[in-house]
Structure 1
Amino acid sequence: MTDEPFETELDVYRDRVSKPLFRLFGTYGLGEKWWLVLGLVTSVLAYGTVLVTPIVLGTTIDAVFTGESAYTLPLVPTAWLPTEATAQFWLSAAVVGGALLGGALLQWVRGVSMNFFAHGVMYAIRVDAYEKMQRLDMTFFDNKETGEIISILNNDAGNLEILFDNALGDSVRIGVIVLGVTVALMYTNWQLALVTLGAVPLLIGFTWWFMRVIEPRYTRQRETVGDLNTRIENGLSGIELVKTTSTEEYENERVRGVSRDVFDAQMDVLKLSYFYRPGMELVTGSVLLATFVLGGLWVFSGPPLFFSGELTTGDFVVFMLLTQRLTDPLAQSASIVDWYQNAKASGKRICGLMDVPVRIQDAPNAIALDDVDGRVEYDDVTFAYETGEGGGTSTERPVLDGVDVRVAPGETVAIVGPTGAGKSTVAKLLLRLYDVSEGAVRVDGHDVRDVRLADLRSAIGYVSQETFLFDGTVAENIRYGRFDADREAVVAAAQAAEAHGFIEGLSEGYDTRVGERGVKLSGGQRQRIAIARTVLQDPEILLLDEATSAVDTETEYLIQRSLDRLAADRTTLVIAHRLSTVKGADRIVVLDEGQVVERGTHEELLAADGLYANLWGVQAGEVESLPEEFLTRATERPANRRD
């Protein structure tokens, strides 16, 4: 085991992504554009009301309380305004109150619409990413860790939701306020406004520097979170092994190591963020102080320094209130930059996943596979697994080399051989989980690459050694793939699979929940439920991959009896390690080092006294071990070779 990362196909395509947020917005955001438009319009109006209070208060102070100027309101004709001071006061109060109430209502509409937009985008991205993941080839999953995928579907999609809701909404707020305040300040006193607005270019330059420096740190942070998810998922999935080997501390140490990587990556981000945020606040606070000092001196003793003209008390109040409205949003732009960079790193990972090519899919003019007879052919098949490093282009040494196998309709053919001979690969190629490197696999004379995948896989019932059950009821797991089957059909399938008896003995019978991966059931029980699932599918071709290798003798007998019943009158391909389970096959094909070395019936192969006879002798206890030549080859096989 190693924790050293290597470059996978996802990493390669992620690194090629440019402008991920524009791409995701164009793909998904436009579909929710009306919510966005409503959110942006109400944002402009809501944040525009923020400017009403200081402007009205400044006018009221100068006209009603100090008498320094006439009573006016922006955009309101003077003829509409009252001339009496008390009426002017109450009109100002009413305008401010109306602005506050209108702003609150507009903020509610803004919040609802922007959340509909952001969550709608997140929903679409998460669903599309999961659907894309479902279509990806098995090679992708051979080289990518589960926790990393979960991180993309969950954490990264969530980061985009934050961007499209909080960051986008706050950006509009800052834009509206900065523009509105700038206009208001310039209109009130352009000289003092230059002091207040002088910090804006400095803040923009500071932000540009911060964005360039923080981006790689956010990318690293997202990668370490994915690594942590993977490590935790692996530890929980293998909890039984951890406990039975007393390796809790070893696993704890591995999680500590990855958690430390997350901590270090997060601190790299936070240390820079906590330099940027106080810096922004210092600059904006200094602007507020400078405006207060210069404006106050101006009111008390006339224009300071090189300034000229008059600054009334009301204008000074407007400046202070508007400057305060300006400094807070500018300081909060640090959060927007954080959200943007975090979402950009997440967007690259999502776009990278979307860009990984799906190689195993229906041909442009795929053939419908109807009325399957069940003839299966492996025609000079050679196959090597892709490693996935560097984009998935390099391959291991061939697992199968020039394999020829013919299975007639209704015939049972067994594939046997030593571990690592390539037996399970034969099964995966028939299901087209992988495509052959050379040669062809055919069903009823059709190359499996030319027929519709759904038709091909629906025609094949696959029972493997590694049985998987979903966290649901027994009935739901049997019905999986035939969701419209009624209870009677489910029970009949369970009876055929020798599973009805133990299911009836469960606490809630067919409605008993089996737990994650079927953890509440024994291995033999899980296997029989998997067989019942295949019985319900009623396939034309049966593919059994070491279906009885992990159970006790009594359970093996029950499972084998149900398999024999299931295989009757079907084309059956049996991948087996226990030779006793296949001695009744019509033909047995012996693989070694990925090549067919023998074929024939059980009796013929025993008479040939070759590899099969030696394997049979070892399993039957007639010989103590395999000949030295076979043991030597087995020990020389690469550690990463897959059977």
Structure 2
Amino acid sequence: MNSSLKAFLSYYCPYRRTLFLDLLCASVVAGILLIYPLCAGYVTRTVLDTPGPGAWGQLVRVGLFMLGLLAVQIAANTFVDYQGHMMGTFIERDMRRDLFAHLQKQSFGFFDSRRTGQLMSRVTNDLFDVGELAHHGPEDLFIAVLLFAGVFVILLTLNPALTLLLFAFLPFMAAYAIYFNVRLNRALLQSRAHIADVNAQVEDTLAGIRVVQSFAGERLEQRRFNAENERFVHSRRAGYRADAFFYQGMTLFTQLMSIAVLVFGGLYILRDSLTLPELVTYLMCVGILMEPIRRFVNLARLLQEGVTGFQRFRELMRLEPEIRDTPDAQPMQKPRGDIEFRDVSFQYPGTPRPVLRNINLNIRSGEFVALVGASGVGKSTLCALIPRFYEVTGGEIRLDGTPIRDLTLESLRRSIGVVQQDVYLFSGTVMENIRYGNPDATPSEIIEAAKQAGAHDFITALPDGYDTDIGQRGVKLSGGQKQRLSIARVFLKDPSVLIFDEATSALDNESERVVQESLERLAAHRTTLVIAHRLSTVRNAGRIVVLTENGIAEQGTHDQLMQQDGVYAQLQAVGARL
């Protein structure tokens, strides 16, 4: 069995009972639809053609029987519509859950090369159509097959010659359907790709709306959006064209079948090889034959939309995370904080040369180390390798003597706190954002972390205190306030290793002073690495490591490096901001 089909069917496993009942009700519906023309044939043949004294009673009994069938049909259809749709929704939910969890396991490199809006489209739009296929696919196929087989048997019983004539249309219908389904599938894949591009453009523009408006770039963004929107329209045009030819072709074939039955059925009546009651039954069966054809057509549409969505879902799910736990990875308890780089090299995919080459560096537990160097020499990259945001391409990194590859990612990253210059806060309240450092923290622990970060006073001054909603990415707060919340989050996390990406460089003097004080409290008794963009911030570091394109050029205290009159002294001389 095809691996994709196996993967799709596996999502039915938790809902086997619902699927069974859904198909059972579908078979009841199909059976009842087949009984209706037989009842009509019975009435025309027995009750109306040769009416007797008990004809009225027979008619009433048949009518009551058909009303009972109708009640059962409505009940079965109600179950199929409601519970079947819910089953499809549950499967859609499960796929979306799995895809979201899978995306969260991907490395920074994965997200570096993909646009958020395109990923969002796969998580939302694509999986909606997969859910529709999961619901309607099995029942439509089941009902269509049962009806088709049942109608074929009844029609053969009534008039084999007319039935064979009728079914001679089917090969042509199948060839026509396959041809336009291939075109529809191609158009739908293009359409999904283009709507993902539209989503990506919207996400990109709205996320940067402050930059857009500050540069009066609305017209430029509108042109970009219009271009993506037109590409989407073009792909939809091709899809709708194939869709229209497909459905109208199916309508043409079904009407031709009805015309053929009327013409040749009348001819058989004239030749006394078919009675009028049989023709009535035959026509009703042909009418029912339109139902499986309609369901096959609907199934073809669902397959095109659902399969393309599932293909895009599987495309992402088949991408194994570049960085993951090794089979024998062990969780790390609270580490001391000794970090060792052993001949470490790193190169970004698709770039011509490594960013880092043969880095050897030992950082002792509790040491305060500053990384300085020209822009682009790999300071941030070096620090990103410690929590395995990226994987080294050569050498290894050890934490407390253990290779970080041998530690579980969760325990490794729980042991490391990162305070970045570009703070990311989530939509929600102040308390929710601080609690992100430790989801199990109590309100009193959160408040204590805020006090340590120098954030408690400004938080209590907010309209709703710790329950104040801070807006998308914390837009209602100043830069210093956002930075203090991010520091409070790290205080709550209580890591053994800290990484500061020059967290104060974008702040005003007063905010910088407050944030710097909280950072110093946070760094106490922890292994700390500071990525320095302003040399004035590293004068008091226990050790300064100077990076160049060729690796570590020199290291030591500020005074020692100034006496060496090397790279660091030259940077100080020009007052570099890195």
Contact 2:344–2:395 (Cα < 8 Å) also in 1: yes
* Count of residues in correspondence between the two structures: 578
Q: Indicate conservation of the 8 Å contact 2:95/2:127, yes or no.
A: yes
Q: Quick check: 2:338–2:365 contact (8 Å CA) kept in 1? A: yes
AA aligned opposite 2:21: L
Match of 1:430 among 362, 386, 389: 386
State yes or no: 1:31 paired with 2:14.
yes
Query: Aligned letter for 2:474?
Result: G
Deviation at 1:19, TM superposition (A): 4.7
Q: Does 1:602 align with 2:570?
A: no
User: Amino acid of the residue matched to residue 64 of structure 1?
Assistant: V
Larger RCO, structures 1/2 (Cα 8 Å, 6+ apart)? 1
CA contact (8 A) 2:155 2:163 kept: yes
* Preserved contact between residue 427 and residue 545 of structure 1 (Cα < 8 Å): no
1:573 corresponds to which residue? 529
CA–CA distance in 2 between the matches of 1:450 and 1:51?
65
Distance 2:483 2:62 in 1: 79
Change in 2 beyond 3 A, CA 1:487/1:31: closer
User: Which residue of 526, 547, 557 maps to 2:482?
Assistant: 526
Give the distance between the partners of 1:31 and 1:486, measured in 2 at CA.
36
Corresponding residue SS for 2:424: coil
Structure 1 counterpart of 2:42, from 46, 53, 59: 59
Report the residue type matching 1:532 in the other structure: A
**Identity score, percent:** 35
Equivalent of residue 27 in structure 2, options 41, 44, 47: 44
Question: 3-state DSSP class of the match of 1:449?
Answer: helix
1:471 matched to 2:434: no
- Using the TM superposition, give the Cα deviation of residue 20 of structure 1 relative to its aligned residue in structure 2, in angstroms: 6.3
Alpha-carbon distance in 1 for matches of 2:374, 2:497: 25
For structure 2, the residue ranges without an aligned partner over 5 or more in a row are none
Partners of 1:21 and 1:344 within 8 A in 2: no
Letter in 2 for 1:497: A
1:104 match: 74
User: 1:361 pairs with 318, 321, 324, which one?
Assistant: 324
Shift of 1:460: 1.1
Per-residue deviation at 1:580?
1.6
Q: Are 2:450 and 1:494 equivalent residues in the alignment?
A: yes
Please say if residues 191 and 232 of structure 2, whose CA atoms lie closer than 8 Å, have aligned partners that are also in contact: yes
Partner residue in 2 for 1:164 = 134
Match of 1:392 in 2: none
Alignment match of 2:349 (pick from 386, 395, 398):
386
Given that 1:277 and 1:331 are in contact with CA atoms closer than 8 Å, whether structure 2 keeps it comes out as no
Return closer, same or farther for 1:562/1:615 CA change in 2, 3 Å cut-off. Answer: same
Are 1:452 and 2:435 an aligned pair?
Answer: no
Give the secondary-structure state (helix, strand or coil) at the position aligned to 2:333. coil
Post-superposition Cα deviations, 1:247-273, rounded to whole Å, max 9, x if no partner, equal 111111111111111111111111011
Distance in 2, Cα, partners of 1:290 & 1:97: 32
Aligned counterparts of 1:369 and 1:453: Cα–Cα separation in 2: 9
SS at match of 1:465: coil
- Name 1:11's counterpart in structure 2: none
Which residue of structure 2 aligns with residue 263 of structure 1?
A: 233
For 1:436 and 1:196, the matched residues in 2 are separated by 68
Alpha-carbon offset, residue 96 of structure 1: 1.3
With structure 1 as the length reference, what TM-score do the two structures score?
0.86
Equivalent-residue separation in structure 2 for 1:367 and 1:287 (angstroms): 69
Three-state SS of the structure 1 residue aligned to 2:406 is coil
In the alignment, which residue of structure 2 is the partner of 1:13?
none
- Please say if 1:320 is aligned against 2:276: no
C-alpha displacement of 1:143: 1.0
* Amino acid aligned to 1:31: P
Q: Given the superposition, is the C-alpha separation of residues 493 and 481 from structure 1 closer, same or farther in structure 2, using an over 3 Å criterion?
A: closer
Q: Distance in 1 between matches of 2:363 and 2:344?
A: 15
SS at match of 1:521: coil
Aligned counterparts of 1:439 and 1:316: Cα–Cα separation in 2: 84
For the pair 1:89 / 2:59, whether they are aligned, the reply is yes
Shift of 1:381: 1.4
- Identify the match of residue 180 of structure 1 among 150, 157, 163: 150
Bigger CA drift: 110-119 or 453-462? 110-119
Deviation by residue 1:528-562 (Cα, 9 ceiling, x = unmatched):
10000011111111111121122122211111111
1:311 CA drift (Å): 2.1
Deviates more, 1:368-377 or 1:93-102: 368-377
Contact (CA 8 Å) 2:368, 2:529: kept in 1 or not? yes
Post-superposition offset of 1:24: 2.6
Cα offsets for 1:198-233 (capped at 9, x unmatched): 322221221222233333222222211211111111
Equivalent-residue separation in structure 2 for 1:34 and 1:21 (angstroms)? 23
> Which residue is 1:15 aligned to?
none
Between the aligned partners of 1:87 and 1:334, the Cα distance in structure 2 is: 41
Comparing 199-208 with 282-291, greater Cα deviation is found at 199-208
Give unmatched runs, 5+ long, in structure 1: 1-17, 72-82, 304-308, 388-394, 620-624, 627-642
User: Is the contact between residue 20 and residue 344 of structure 1 (CA under 8 Å) also seen in structure 2?
Assistant: no
Following superposition, the deviation at residue 396 of structure 1 comes to 4.0
Q: How does 1:332-351 map to 2 (within 5 A)?
A: 333-351=296-314
Which of 345, 358, 365 does residue 409 from structure 1 map onto? 365
- State the one-letter code of the partner of 2:40: L
Q: In the TM superposition, what is the alpha-carbon distance from 1:160 to its structure 2 partner?
A: 0.8
TM-score (norm 2): 0.96
Q: 1:400 aligns with which of 329, 353, 356?
A: 356
Tell me the residue number matched to 1:330.
Answer: 293
CA-atom RMSD in angstroms: 2.0
Alpha-carbon distance in structure 2 between the residues aligned to 1:310 and 1:537: 88
Partner of 1:228: 198
1:168 is displaced (CA, Å) by: 3.0
**SS of the residue 2:293 aligns to:** helix
1-structure distance, mates of 2:136, 2:90: 14
Q: Equivalent of 2:85, from 95, 107, 115?
A: 115
Post-superposition CA distance 1:66-89 (Å, at most 9, x none): 229xx9xxxxxxxxxxx8212211
What is the aligned partner in structure 1 of residue 161 from structure 2? 191
CA distance in 2, matches of 1:497, 1:96: 76
Aligned to 1:74: none
Note the alpha carbon deviations across 1:306-348, whole angstroms, 9 max, x for none. xxx4322221211222212222542453332122122222112
Q: Measure the CA separation in 1 of the matches of 2:206 and 2:41.
A: 64
SS at match of 1:111: helix
- Find the residue that maps to 1:343 and give its secondary structure: helix
